[in-house]
Amino acid sequence: MTLDALLPGGVVVRGGDLHDPAWSALATAADRAAVGDAVPARVLDFLAGRGAARAALLALGADAGAPLARGLDRSPRWPADVVGSLTHGAGEVAAAVARPADVAALGIDVEPLRPLPTGVAAVVGGDAELRRLEGFVHGPSAGAVVLFSAKESLFKAWHPLHRTWLDLHDADVRLRDDGTFGARLTPASGPRTTWSGRWEVDGDVVRTAVAVAAPG
C-alpha cells in the first residue's frame, strides 16, 4: 500500500522514490535558496520534499508556486487555503495536502523498519505502551517503530492546530491489529483529547497517517 490508502477522501498525496530527480526538479528557485549550502543529503531531502509538496498542491488545484517557508517545527508553511504534511524516510518522500473545509490537520510519517537503538523504545513509549507491544501482530520490535512513527504523525497534525509542542509521553498510543491506532493526548498545555490514525508495515517500511476531521 501507500500513504494514499491510509488517508480519507479529499486528501491528495504525491511522492515516491526520494532519489528520483523528478521531485527535486519541481522545487523552485526559492526552495533552492532556502536550503543553501547544506550537506548533500539534507539538500536532497529538502528539495525532494518541496517538489513532492508542489506536485500535491498542483493536483489539489492550489497555488503550486506559493512560497513554502519553514515554520518553527521545520515543516512547510502551507498556503492559507491548504493544510498539509510532509515526510521523507526509508528512501521515500511524500506530501499530503487537503482543503481546510475537508480536513482540519494532517500528519504523515515514513520510517525504515529496523530495531530502534538500545534504550530508545523507553523514551518513545511509556510502560503501558511498551507492555502492549508484546502482543503486536508484527512483534514488539516492529511495534516500537510503528509507535514512534504514529507519534510523529500525531505531533505533525497537532502543532498547526494548537501551536504548542508535545512530548513523546504526552501521547498514549494503542496500536490495533487492523491497521488503526488510537491516541489519548494529555499535553501540559492545550486540550486533552483522543485522536486516531492508521498504520501499515510494508516490507521494510513503516507508514503512518493522521487526518483530523474538519469541524462540522
User: What order of strands is seen across the sheet that includes strand 193-202?
Assistant: 103-112, 205-213, 193-202, 180-185, 171-175
How many C-beta atoms lie closer than 10 Å to residue 117's C-beta? Answer: 8
Domain shared by 119 and 168, yes or no: yes
- Domain tally, the chain: 2
Q: 15: domain CATH number?
A: 3.90.470.20
SS3 of the chain: the string is CCHHHHCCCCCEEEEEECCCHHHHHCCCHHHHHHHCCCCHHHHHHHHHHHHHHHHHHHHHCCCCCCCCCECCCCCECCCCCCEEEEEEECCEEEEEEECCCCEEEEEEEEEECCCCCCCHHHHHCCHHHHHHHHHCCCCHHHHHHHHHHHHHHHHHHHHHHHCCCCCHHHEEEEECCCCEEEEEECCCCCCCEEEEEEEEEECCEEEEEEEEECCC
The range of the structural domain enclosing residue 21 comes to 3-101
Give the CA distances from residue 12 to residues 7, 26, 29, 54, in Å, rounded to whole numbers and listed in that order. Answer: 9, 17, 24, 11
Read off the CATH number of the domain in which 137 is found: 3.90.470
Structure pTM? 0.96
pLDDT in tens, 115-169: 999 999 999 999 999 999 999 999 999 999 999 999 999 999 999 998 888 999 9
Is the same domain home to 199 and 180?
A: yes
146 and 191 part of one domain: yes
Return the pLDDT at 195: 96
- Domain-terminating residue out of 81, 101, 121: 101
| Same domain (yes/no): 139, 182 | yes
pLDDT in tens, 82-97: 999 999 999 999 999 9
Q: Which residue, 101, 122, 155, sits at the end of a domain?
A: 101
- Read off the C-alpha cell for 195: 485522536
Residues 180, 131: one domain? yes
Same domain for 139 and 44: no
Domain identity same for 184 and 148: yes
Confidence of residue 70 (pLDDT cuts 50, 70, 90): confident
Does 130 lie in the same domain as 95? Answer: no
